[in-house]
Structure formats: structure tokens, C-alpha cells
Structure 1
Amino acid sequence: MPAAPLHLDTPLFLTSADYSAASRPLWLKLDALQPAGSFKLRGVGRLCQHEVENGAKEIFCASGGNAGIAAAYAGRALGVPVTIVVPQTTSEEVRRSIAATGAAVLVHGSVFDEANAHAVNLAAERKAAYVHPFDHPLLWEGHGTLIDEVVARGAEFDCVVASVGGGGLLAGIVAGLKRNGLDNVPVIAVETEGAASFHASLAADERITLPAITSIANSLGARQVAQHVFDLPRHHPIESVTVTDAEAVAACLKFADAYRILVEPACGAALAVADTHPDLLARFKNPLIEVCGGIGVSLDKLKMWRERLL
């Protein structure tokens, strides 16, 4: 029998129609309540399990936060040491959170790309497993379990709204829709301005590498999406939209007030769509929003962002 998954089947509930400017009930899938703080545990846990089942004695991963926490959690559950390589932009608070979850933390490079290259090299030198934070088929398979759970609940939905960083979540959602026979259900892919590599790539019809990430939504800070993700709109209906940092933060605050759950701006981006792009959601009867969570948030940070942006 396959090993039990490391992630939880998270709550799903329906908002009132007056929660947002979209003026319709919204299904909310609460992956902010995963034990590692975000949806990342679904795919990262699946990939870590696979590597350990195939003999891995050690795991390396590069991450600015959420994938690192997920890998650290998975390594602790599976009984193997994990090293997370983070770029210099990763806050001390996040580094401490990763270390407290049980992983060793190395700081390398000024951006994710440099941290990731270092993690790949270290894994090769030590003959350890390397776990990519967003670009691997088993990650996408794991992330797609959120759709499996919604379908198993019998919830009817006609679009999915999700944030996009490197694109692992988007790829997983499309995979989950496909395996549940929902190929025609569109996905609204949301990024913050200043971290919108997917949006820029679609506009240019080629995979763009952003010169820098200027958004506060660090978890969306992949300067380039995976090739598989760039290719997805050719095979599945996907609409790319952006929101501002201020709109993402406002959505985080609104969500915290309504449901007593903190999420980071990368997640707030998806929640913001119902207020910033209400005409877009007005085309649908039952939107599903993936509340992807994130560890890069606190009451103090929300207060600071509110004072700076709102």
C-alpha cells in the first residue's frame, strides 16, 4: 500500500454572497491550515516521500519560505535530514521558522535562482535527493489533491482562482481538474504587480525572466515560471490577471477580520480578485478560491503593510 500522505484534507466552506464585490458565494479551500502553513506540503510532501521510498537518505531544497517549511516538515515526518538553501532576501523570521521545523538552513545568493543552483550542486556532491519547490510532475500530482478533495465533497464549482509564483500550484490544479474530468473548468491565475512573470510571459508569447522582484509578495517571487506552466494555456483555459500589493494586503486584512486566519500577500492576491476584478468572477456562478496560506505573515507585518500601502 502507498504511504499515507503528509498533508491534511483541509476545510472547504462557502462565503456569503455579500463577502465581496463579485456578489456571489465563493468556495474557499483553506490550505492555510496545513500543518506546514501552506498548500506546498501537498506536493513537496509527495515528492519527498517518493525520494525516501527510492532510497534517499538526505534531502536538499531551495526556497524563500513555504516550500522550505514543507520540506522540513516532510523530512521530520520521514526521518531524514533536510537542508534548505534560502536567498539573502529571506527574512530572519522565516529562516528561524524553517530551522525550528527541523531543517538546516543555508543562505546563498541574492535571488532564488542562485539559491536553487547551489542546492542542486550540494545535493549532487552529497549524493542526496534534490527537491524542486515548484517544477516537478510529482509536485503537481500532489498539489492536485486539493481538487480531488473538493470534488469528493460534492462541491460544484465552475472556475478556480489561484495565485501563481513559479507555477507549481497552477500546474497541480490543472492536473487535478484533468483527472476529475473537469478539463473545461477555467483557472484564473493571479500575480501581484512586480512579481508577474507568468503574466509577462503570456503577453510576450515567450518565457520571460523578470529583472527583479519588486512586490512584497515574496512567495510569488520566481523571476521565471516553469516551462510546463508557460505551456499550460495551450491545453487548458487559463486567464492571467494581476493585482497590486495594496489590493493583496487589503484582502489579507479582510480575510483575517472575517475568518480569524492570517495569510500572506501571495495568498491575498487570489482573495483580492473577487473585489478587484468582480466583473471577471461575475461570469461564474460558483468560483473556487484556493486559500494557499503562507508562513511569511504576522500581525506585525500586516500592520506594517497596512500603514505603508493602505
Structure 2
Amino acid sequence: MKLHIETPLIESRAMSVITGRSVWIKLDALQPPGSFKIRGIGHACETYLAQGARRFVSSSGGNAGLAVAYAGRRLGVPVTVVVPETTTERAKELLQLENAEVIVHGISWQEANAFAQSLVGASDAFLHPFDDPLLWQGHATLVDEVFRSGLKPDAVVLSVGGGGLLSGVVEGLHRNGWSDIPVFAVETAGAASFHAAVRAGHTVELERITSIATSLGAKRVCEKAFQWSKNHRIHSVVVSDQSALSACERFLADHRILVEPACGASLAVAYENASELESFSNILVVVCGGATSTIDQIREWKSSKHAP
């Protein structure tokens, strides 16, 4: 049973006109649980089920947990998701809609994650939100689909949180013979753990997450994502919360799809015609999605002092 769907790949006319180049969007916001996460998490859940797992346990303030809950419901496996106190009511509602047991613990994902791991019994499988080779293998199917479409972009733009999507996309580029295509890895200021790692020459832990794009809120990017930065052309880009929020509103108007600020970060690079895109003519933007923000929330954040 394949738990993810093949998502549309279309040209964004609005972004193409703004940038003066062809901008293609891979619409993973249309995955059943609302984000790209189901690609890797679905693959991992199927693998662990085949190995005898009787329950899935996850730690996630949003989209990873939703993907685990969706996969568990489809596969007939009970799911427990531990979320931090910062998790939105909307996210908790969506998790419960997928029949997951939701436990609120800790003020950060790190605390929720430690508690989730303490719950894992002998017949349980733990689903990490971003740091698992099975996830990267599954996320790489996004590139497989682009490859089969016949479109070869000359650059890929995507958002980075913990680095699972970045690791999967670069793996997908390499397994399809596209190791020459550079990737622009976009984060918001206040959640830029990949940018910090690139600057330091090794992964580092951020003191705290101050961005409203909480889906990007991994204090330390996974080691694999950083290692790829040494073996593939990956350019780190940091945008403001306001840029990400504006991009969410513009994308909703242009494509009638609502995405989270975490996804808005990569869209902002195209909407603001960032100088980094100057030497490219055929750009692929991964619309990674995100199901836990409402348009009212996005507008509230945009007008508040919390979004610099």
C-alpha cells in the first residue's frame, strides 16, 4: 500500500512573471496529511510494520506527527504522538481526527522527543520526524516524480527544518543522475540551524527557536543534511518571518492552496525574486505544505510584533 500520492508539478505563472524565469512548483501540500512528510514517514511505517511493529510512537508539533497518525490509521496500527506545549490547537485536533493518542509534554520538541522515546516498548516503532535513512529514501520519491515528468530544473528551492526533506531531495537528485543540480536551502531567521551549521563547519544547537515558523524549529539540523552540504552544491538562504508570511498569503491568492510559514520561507525566495536565483532559468520550488496553520493565524502573526 502506497501511502503518499504523486503530486502535481505545474508552472507558477505568478512566480515566473515576478522572477522573469520559469518557476515550477511541486505541490506536496496536496498530500493527504497535508505535507511531504508522508513520503518518508509512510515508507518508514510500512517498513516497521513488516518488521513486526504493533504501535507507532512519534514526537512532533505538527506535520510529522500527522503523517504518522495518517499512516497508522491507514495501516491499522495504533499511534501515540507526543507534542510540546507550543503545539497549536489546530494541530492537536488534526491528530485526534486521525485517531492518534496525543500526549502534551515539555516546552520544546526536544523535551517531547525525549519523553516519546521513553514510551517505546519492545513491540513499538519510534518514528523520528526527520533523522532516519528510511525517511530520506521516501522523501527522495519527490525527485523521482519530477525526473519521470521529463522536466530537469537547473536549481531546486526548498525549506529546511531538521533537514529530512533536504537529505531526501539531494538523495533523489543523486539517484536520478542529477547530482549537478544545486539546491537552495531556505530557513527563517530564528530557526536557521542549517545556516548555523554551514557557518560553523559542523552541526550546532541553537539556544532557542524564535521564528514563528515552528515547523522549521529543530534546534540542530540532522548530521546527514550537513554532510550533504560537503558533497553537493547547497546554498543556505535565510529569510524573515514577515517574508514567509507574505509568501503564504500570496501563494493562497495565486494557487488557492494554504501552506504554513515553514513552506512560505522557500516560496518567499521566488516571490521576492532573490538575487540567488539570478543565474538560473528553470527553477523548481518544493511546496512542502503544512497542515497546522490557518489563514487567520498567518494574518495575526503578520500583524503582530512577533514576526520581525
- TM-score, normalized by length of structure 2? 0.96
Please report how far the alpha carbon of residue 300 of structure 1 lies from its aligned counterpart in structure 2 after TM superposition.
Answer: 1.2
1:177 aligns with 2:162: no
Q: Is the 8 A contact 1:20 1:275 kept in 2?
A: no
Matching residue within 106, 111, 114 for 2:111: 114
Paired letter, 1:113: Q
SS at match of 1:194: coil
Q: Is the 8 A contact 1:21 1:278 kept in 2?
A: no
1:147 aligns with 2:148: no
Per-residue CA distance 1:123-177 (angstroms, 9 max, x = gap): 1x35311111100111000001010001111112111100000000000000100
Please report how far the alpha carbon of residue 305 of structure 1 lies from its aligned counterpart in structure 2 after TM superposition.
Answer: 2.4
SS at match of 1:28: strand
Structure 2 counterparts to residues 47-62 of structure 1, below 5 A = 47-62=44-59
Aligned to 1:165: 161
1:103 aligns with 2:100: yes
Paired letter, 2:231: H
Q: Is the 8 A contact 1:188 1:241 kept in 2?
A: yes
The whole-number CA distance in structure 2 between the counterparts of 1:113 and 1:145 is 28
Structure 2 counterparts to residues 7-46 of structure 1, below 5 A = 7-16=4-13, 19=16, 21-46=18-43
Aligned to 1:280: 276
1:133 aligns with 2:129: yes
Q: What's the % identity of the aligned pairs?
A: 51
Matching residue within 231, 234, 238 for 1:235: 231
Matching residue within 206, 210, 222 for 2:206: 210
Aligned to 2:290: 294
Paired letter, 1:164: V
Change over 3 Å in CA distance of 1:211–1:20 after alignment to 2: farther
Q: Is the 8 A contact 1:11 1:30 kept in 2?
A: yes
Matching residue within 71, 75, 79 for 1:82: 79
Per-residue CA distance 1:198-220 (angstroms, 9 max, x = gap): 10111111211011100000100
Aligned to 2:299: 303
What CA RMSD, in Å, does the superposition of the two structures yield over aligned residues?
A: 1.4
Per-residue CA distance 1:10-54 (angstroms, 9 max, x = gap): 011012276464221201000000000000000000000100011
Matching residue within 231, 247, 254 for 1:251: 247
Q: How many residues align?
A: 306
Per-residue CA distance 1:101-143 (angstroms, 9 max, x = gap): 11100111111111111111111x3531111110011100000
The whole-number CA distance in structure 1 between the counterparts of 2:151 and 2:261 is 27
Change over 3 Å in CA distance of 1:20–1:60 after alignment to 2: farther
Aligned to 1:222: 218
Per-residue CA distance 1:206-255 (angstroms, 9 max, x = gap): 21101110000010000001111111111111000100000001111110
The whole-number CA distance in structure 1 between the counterparts of 2:17 and 2:249 is 13
Runs (5+) with no aligned partner, structure 1: none
Runs (5+) with no aligned partner, structure 2: none
1:262 aligns with 2:258: yes
SS at match of 2:19: coil
Aligned to 1:200: 196
SS at match of 2:220: coil
